[in-house]
Amino acid sequence: NAGVTQTPKFRVLKTGQSMTLLCAQDMNHEYMYWYRQDPGMGLRLIHYSVGEGTTAKGEVPDGYNVSRLKKQNFLLGLESAAPSQTSVYFCASSSPSGRSYNEQFFGPGTRLTVL
Amino acid sequence: QKEVEQDPGPLSVPEGAIVSLNCTYSNSAFQYFMWYRQYSRKGPELLMYTYSSGNKEDGRFTAQVDKSSKYISLFIRDSQPSDSATYLCAMRAGRRALTFGSGTRLQVQP
């Protein structure tokens, strides 16, 4: 049982390049999330999904797109990377009921640097 | 002004000390209050979860919520070097997404 996994762990991009971050979970969770974590800013929600085929914007969605084609996967895309997108990206998943709704399970993070 | 404010620290204490970590918030609609622990270069993990006001104890950890003051606390008794981590408070209103504090870095010196 791997929990939440993220690919890649590290990446360096040049301004204007594109990339996709992959998140996978094996807990059969309905909800999945993408956050970015910056010093002094805490975790900020980028996009989230409440089920296969559905996505919604979070607090800081500009410059990112997402897709949830399969229940276990949630992809985060950067179409044209900017230095302001240098951050640590975390994926998380949760179940929609009870304690589980508040317990988000996080992946190990992807450290992205945009030059 | 952020909805959730948290002192970034670092907070350095000797092993065995009682640690107090705090968050203040401005949204009176928040009902669910959580503390996540994040070790260096790892993802956060849920430590404790409280609904509405009151106290909750789990081993060496106690979470307190004072909704009248919009203030939540996490107390760690008999702190250990393994408690060294960043502690993030999080809260939500109804079915809305979680709002996180920026985290307090704790260092417990052996």
d(CA A88, CA A109): 6
Q: Is B82 helix (H, G, I), strand (E, B) or coil?
A: helix
User: Residues A86-101: pLDDT tens digits?
Assistant: 999 999 999 877 666 6
pLDDT of residue A101: 66
Which residues are within 8 A (CB) of A87 and not within 5 positions of it... i.e. 6 or more apart? A36, A37, A38, A112
Contacts of B100 in chain A (CB under 8 A): 42-44
Q: Choosing among A27, A37, A46, which should be mutated to test the B contact, i.e. which has the most B CBs within 10 A?
A: A37
Cβ-based interface (< 8 Å): residues of A facing B: 4, 33, 40-45, 48, 58, 90, 92, 99, 101-109
Option in B43, B49, B100 nearest A107 (CB): B43
Predicted local confidence at residue B54, as pLDDT: 85
Chain B residue closest to A38 (CA)? B102
Average pLDDT value for residue range A69-74: 96
| Count of CA atoms in the C-beta half-sphere (13 A) of A14 | 0
Q: B43: buried, middle or exposed (CB in 10 Å: 19+, 13-18, 0-12)?
A: buried
pLDDT digits (tens, 9 = 90+) for A21-69: 999 999 999 999 999 999 888 899 999 999 999 999 999 999 999 999 9
Owner of token pair 């996180």: B100
* pLDDT surpassing 70 at residue A80: yes
Distance (Å, rounded) from C-alpha A19 to C-alpha A79? 7
Name the band, by pLDDT with cuts 50, 70 and 90, for residue A103: confident
- Going by their DSSP bridges, the two strands B19-25 and B71-76 should be labelled as antiparallel
